[in-house]
Amino acid sequence: MAIIVNLDVMMAKRKISLNELSEAVDITLANLSKLKTGKVKAIRFSTLEAICEALDCQPGDLLEFSKD
């Protein structure tokens, strides 16, 4: 079982770069990159909220559960 992070999909839909999102959310480029590639174990709700606000989306648009 795994949680899949679809941040790259939402960024492409909103036509926003990693640098632009990093500045909008006030998170380091390195941490945002790790989140984008799914190499994180946790995310703070405040960070998730800021990303959702910047991308005008819902948490479910960014996170997906897979039984594989």
Q: Please give the pLDDT value at position 38.
A: 87
Q: State the average pLDDT over residues 33-57.
A: 94
d(CA 17, CA 14): 9
pTM of this prediction exceeds 0.85: yes
Question: Residues 51, 21: contact at Cβ < 8 Å?
Answer: yes
Confidence of residue 1 (pLDDT cuts 50, 70, 90): low
CATH label of the domain that carries residue 38: 1.10.260.40
d(CA 1, CA 24): 31
Residues of the domain holding 16: 2-66
d(CA 17, CA 19): 5
Total domain count, the chain: 1
